[in-house]
């Protein structure tokens, strides 16, 4: 059984088609990234998952529970960390978390609450009022709140937007531990390096459609384009290589290669013109290059 299933999900806001038939699954134990530019429909998908919005058509399940017909069970199976800070300013941090536990019918949850507070660096703030916390601390509470009922699936909607490096590291260390303990994690992020570092599967959404969904390593291998930087002696690029030139800098030439095999052709062209290579660097594409490329092409797989 998949942890999450989105099956042909459509959602329209007035004239705007926010989701146009999105289908994909997240498997148990995945650390899954949902990427896409502003307005792609990521938050809309997550809202439907959490029962905060209804799909016009299609089906969504969490741990086998339909988010509409089996709302309560579906809701219990998932913890969602929202993008916005939503809280009651008059409660303390601990009260907020106890209240949230009560919402799920869980009593005597203080041991787990203490563990979450400690893992998120919030122990010293347990008795502070929410309104007295800094923005970063409030965001930690949002994360804690999503975890009080120990959901098997944890969804984080841009959890590190506007958050300092320290919290980012604390948060990811904790989320990683939860993933290792068997929790399924889904995150939306604009920080591609975060997705690259943490996630094992990546989906890309654009204008309400899924552009790609792949194992991270397959995705990174798929786009074989490499960039090459050469310093030459004499400093002259053979005419045959001019179409590959992307920039001249630092007394050298940056070339775009169509794949790893293209390197042999470049070297042969240099040799034919009697040009010696003084210096050579080959860059692997990172996720950001691939992402930008795919978004530009609107590639549909």
Ligand X SMILES: Nc1ncnc2c1ncn2[C@@H]1O[C@H](COP(=O)(O)OP(=O)(O)OP(=O)(O)O)[C@@H](O)[C@H]1O
Sites of contact with ligand X (CB under 6 A): 13, 16, 18, 36, 38-44
Structural contact between residues 284 and 226, judged by C-beta atoms closer than 8 angstroms:
yes
Plot region of 166 (φ>0 → left; ψ -120 to 50 → alpha; else → beta):
alpha
Question: Closest distance between ligand X and the C-beta of residue 41, in Å?
Answer: 4
Q: Which among 254, 65, 238, 47 is positioned nearest to 155, based on CA atoms?
A: 47
Using the minimum distance from each CB to ligand X, give the nearer residue, 16 or 181: 16
Question: Closest distance between ligand X and the C-beta of residue 38, in Å?
Answer: 3
Question: Closest distance between ligand X and the C-beta of residue 45, in Å?
Answer: 7
Question: Closest distance between ligand X and the C-beta of residue 208, in Å?
Answer: 7
Structural contact between residues 19 and 55, judged by C-beta atoms closer than 8 angstroms:
yes
Q: What is the dihedral of CA 160, 161, 162, 165, to 10 degrees?
A: 30
Using the minimum distance from each CB to ligand X, give the nearer residue, 49 or 130: 49
Q: Give the CB-side neighbour count of residue 33, counting CA atoms within 13 A.
A: 26
DSSP 224-235: --EEEEEEEESS
Using the minimum distance from each CB to ligand X, give the nearer residue, 18 or 199: 18
Using the minimum distance from each CB to ligand X, give the nearer residue, 41 or 79: 41
What element of type H or E holds 215? strand 209-215
Using the minimum distance from each CB to ligand X, give the nearer residue, 18 or 60: 18
Question: Closest distance between ligand X and the C-beta of residue 209, in Å?
Answer: 12
Question: Closest distance between ligand X and the C-beta of residue 74, in Å?
Answer: 19
Structural contact between residues 9 and 48, judged by C-beta atoms closer than 8 angstroms:
yes
What element of type H or E holds 289? helix 287-297
d(CA 172, CA 122): 15
Using the minimum distance from each CB to ligand X, give the nearer residue, 44 or 96: 44
Question: Closest distance between ligand X and the C-beta of residue 47, in Å?
Answer: 7
Using the minimum distance from each CB to ligand X, give the nearer residue, 35 or 120: 35
Question: Closest distance between ligand X and the C-beta of residue 162, in Å?
Answer: 13
d(CA 296, CA 301): 14
Using the minimum distance from each CB to ligand X, give the nearer residue, 38 or 297: 38
d(CA 280, CA 179): 40
Structural contact between residues 162 and 174, judged by C-beta atoms closer than 8 angstroms:
no
């Amino acid at each position: 059984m998949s942890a999450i299933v989105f099956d042909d999900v459509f959602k329209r806001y007035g004239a705007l088609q926010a989701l146009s038939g999105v289908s994909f699954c997240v498997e148990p134990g995945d650390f899954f990234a949902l990427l896409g530019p502003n307005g792609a429909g990521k938050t809309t998908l997550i809202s439907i998952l959490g029962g905060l919005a209804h799909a016009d058509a299609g089906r969504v399940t969490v741990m086998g529970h339909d988010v509409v017909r089996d709302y309560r069970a579906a809701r219990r199976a998932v913890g969602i960390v929202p993008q916005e800070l939503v809280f009651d300013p008059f409660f303390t941090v601990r009260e907020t978390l106890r209240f949230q536990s009560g919402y799920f019918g869980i009593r005597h949850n203080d041991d787990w609450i203490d563990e979450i507070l400690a893992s998120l660096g919030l122990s010293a703030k347990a008795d502070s009022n929410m309104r007295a916390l800094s923005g970063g601390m409030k965001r930690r509470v949002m994360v804690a709140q999503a975890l009080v009922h120990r959901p098997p699936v944890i969804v984080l909607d841009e959890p590190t937007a506007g958050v300092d490096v320290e919290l980012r590291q604390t948060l990811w260390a904790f989320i990683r531990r939860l993933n290792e303990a068997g929790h399924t994690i889904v995150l939306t992020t604009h920080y591609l390096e975060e997705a690259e570092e943490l996630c094992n599967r990546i989906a890309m959404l654009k204008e309400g459609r899924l552009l790609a969904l792949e194992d991270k390593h397959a995705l990174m291998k798929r786009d074989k384009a490499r960039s090459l930087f050469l310093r030459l002696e004499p400093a002259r690029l053979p005419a045959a290589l001019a179409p590959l030139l992307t920039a001249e800098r630092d007394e050298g030439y940056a070339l775009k290669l169509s794949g790893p095999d293209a390197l042999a052709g470049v070297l042969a062209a240099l040799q034919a013109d009697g040009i010696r290579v003084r210096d050579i660097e080959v860059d692997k594409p990172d996720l950001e290059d691939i992402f930008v490329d795919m978004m530009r092409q609107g590639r549909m797989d």
